Structure 1
Amino acid sequence: MLTSDLIRPLLRFQGQHVSVALVDPQDGALQATAQELIELFRSQLGQPQECWEQALTTYIGPRLDYILVRGLAKVLTDGATFTPVQAPHTPTVVRETMFAYGPVFSSSDMLHPVSREGVLQSVASNLQLSADDVEELLFADRHASYRLSDTGPDWTPVSLLARYNLELTRGVLYWASQLTIEVSDNYKDLWKFIKLFKLMFAAQARPDGGYHIELDGPISPFVGATLRYGRQMAAFLPALFLCQQWKMQATVYPPQGRGAMNYQLDAANSDLQSHFKRSDTFDSRLEADFAADFAQKIGARRGKWRLLRETELLLLGDTVMVPDFVLIDTRDEQRRILVELVGFWHPDYLRRKLEKVRAANCSHLLLLVYKGLNVTEEDFQGIASEVLFFTNKPVMKDVMLKVEEMAHRIYGPPST
Structure 2
Amino acid sequence: MLTSDLIRPLLRFQDRNVSVALVDPQSASLQTTARELIKLFHSHVDCSQEAWEQALGTYIGPRLDYVLVRGLAKVLSDGATFTPLPTIHAPTVVRESMFAYGPVFSGSDMVHPVSRQGVLQSVATNLKLSPSDVESLLFADRHASYRLTDTGPTWTPETLLARYNLELTRGVLYWASQLTIEIADNYKDIWKFIKLFKLMFVAQATNSGGYRIELDGPISPFVGATLRYGRQMAAFLPALFLCQHWKMQATVYPPQGRGAMNYQMDSSSNDLQSHFKRSGSFDSRLEADFAHEFEQKIGQRRGRWLLRRESDLLLLGDTVMVPDFVMVDRHDERRRILIELVGFWHPDYLRRKLEKVRAANCSHLLLLVYKGLNVTEEDFQGITSEVIFFPNKPVMRDVLAKVEEMSQRIYGPASA
Task: Please state which band the TM-score falls in when normalised by the shorter chain.
Answer: over 0.9
Tell which deviates more after alignment, 285-294 or 249-258.
249-258
How far apart are the structure 2 equivalents of 1:219 and 1:344?
40
- Name the residue aligned to 1:242: 242
CA drift of 1:225 comes to: 9.4
How far apart are the structure 1 equivalents of 2:207 and 2:292?
32
* AA at the equivalent of 2:172: V
CA drift of 1:219 comes to: 7.1
- Name the residue aligned to 2:21: 21
* AA at the equivalent of 2:343: G
- Name the residue aligned to 2:168: 168
How far apart are the structure 2 equivalents of 1:107 and 1:161?
51
Q: Does the 8 Å contact 1:17/1:262 carry over to 2?
A: yes
- Name the residue aligned to 1:407: 407
How far apart are the structure 2 equivalents of 1:341 and 1:373?
12
Tell which deviates more after alignment, 125-134 or 136-145.
125-134
- Name the residue aligned to 1:308: 308
How far apart are the structure 1 equivalents of 2:297 and 2:57?
65
* AA at the equivalent of 1:339: I
How far apart are the structure 1 equivalents of 2:366 and 2:223?
38
- Name the residue aligned to 1:361: 361
How far apart are the structure 2 equivalents of 1:323 and 1:336?
12
CA drift of 1:180 comes to: 1.2
Q: Does the 8 Å contact 1:310/1:324 carry over to 2?
A: yes
- Name the residue aligned to 1:73: 73
- Name the residue aligned to 1:181: 181
CA drift of 1:268 comes to: 1.5
- Name the residue aligned to 2:156: 156
Change (3 A) 1:327 1:393: same
How far apart are the structure 1 equivalents of 2:155 and 2:86?
28
Q: Does the 8 Å contact 2:177/2:226 carry over to 1?
A: no
TM-score, normalised relative to structure 2 = 0.97
Q: Does the 8 Å contact 2:177/2:225 carry over to 1?
A: no
- Name the residue aligned to 1:131: 131
How far apart are the structure 1 equivalents of 2:354 and 2:103?
66
* AA at the equivalent of 1:321: M
CA drift of 1:4 comes to: 1.1
- Name the residue aligned to 2:276: 276
Q: Deviations over 1:325-356 (max 9, x none)?
A: 11111132211111111111110111011111
How far apart are the structure 1 equivalents of 2:332 and 2:195?
35
Q: Does the 8 Å contact 1:218/1:226 carry over to 2?
A: no
Q: Does the 8 Å contact 2:104/2:114 carry over to 1?
A: yes
Runs ≥4 residues deviating over 6 A: none
Q: Does 1:352 align with 2:352?
A: yes
CA drift of 1:29 comes to: 0.3
How far apart are the structure 2 equivalents of 1:218 and 1:241?
25
How far apart are the structure 1 equivalents of 2:134 and 2:381?
69
How far apart are the structure 2 equivalents of 1:415 and 1:134?
85
- Name the residue aligned to 2:318: 318
* AA at the equivalent of 1:323: P
Gaps of 5+ in 1: none
Q: What is the total number of aligned residue pairs between the two structures?
A: 416
CA drift of 1:111 comes to: 4.2
Tell which deviates more after alignment, 220-229 or 258-267.
220-229
**1:286-297 correspondence to structure 2 within 5 Å:** 286-297=286-297
CA drift of 1:303 comes to: 2.5
How far apart are the structure 2 equivalents of 1:180 and 1:111?
68
Q: Does 1:211 align with 2:215?
A: no
Q: Does 1:334 align with 2:334?
A: yes
Q: SS of the residue aligned with 2:203?
A: strand
How far apart are the structure 1 equivalents of 2:382 and 2:340?
18
Q: Does 1:197 align with 2:197?
A: yes
CA drift of 1:84 comes to: 0.8
CA drift of 1:32 comes to: 0.4
**1:7-156 correspondence to structure 2 within 5 Å:** 7-156=7-156
Tell which deviates more after alignment, 132-141 or 116-125.
116-125
- Name the residue aligned to 2:371: 371
* AA at the equivalent of 1:186: N
CA drift of 1:226 comes to: 2.2
Q: Does the 8 Å contact 1:364/1:406 carry over to 2?
A: yes
Q: Does the 8 Å contact 1:337/1:366 carry over to 2?
A: yes
How far apart are the structure 2 equivalents of 1:232 and 1:411?
42
Q: SS of the residue aligned with 2:171?
A: helix
Change (3 A) 1:53 1:218: farther
Q: Deviations over 1:122-155 (max 9, x none)?
A: 3223223222221111011111111111111111
* AA at the equivalent of 2:12: R
CA drift of 1:15 comes to: 1.4
* AA at the equivalent of 1:178: Q
* AA at the equivalent of 2:229: Y
Change (3 A) 1:13 1:145: same
* AA at the equivalent of 1:273: Q
How far apart are the structure 1 equivalents of 2:245 and 2:301?
29
TM-score, normalised relative to structure 1 = 0.97
Q: Does the 8 Å contact 1:2/1:168 carry over to 2?
A: yes
Q: Does the 8 Å contact 1:253/1:259 carry over to 2?
A: yes
How far apart are the structure 2 equivalents of 1:222 and 1:350?
38
Q: Does the 8 Å contact 1:218/1:233 carry over to 2?
A: no
How far apart are the structure 2 equivalents of 1:342 and 1:224?
44
CA drift of 1:169 comes to: 0.5
How far apart are the structure 1 equivalents of 2:29 and 2:291?
50
Q: Does the 8 Å contact 2:177/2:224 carry over to 1?
A: no
Q: Does 1:387 align with 2:412?
A: no
Q: Does the 8 Å contact 1:179/1:215 carry over to 2?
A: yes
- Name the residue aligned to 2:226: 226
Tell which deviates more after alignment, 254-263 or 178-187.
254-263
Q: Does the 8 Å contact 1:181/1:246 carry over to 2?
A: yes
CA drift of 1:107 comes to: 2.3
- Name the residue aligned to 2:257: 257
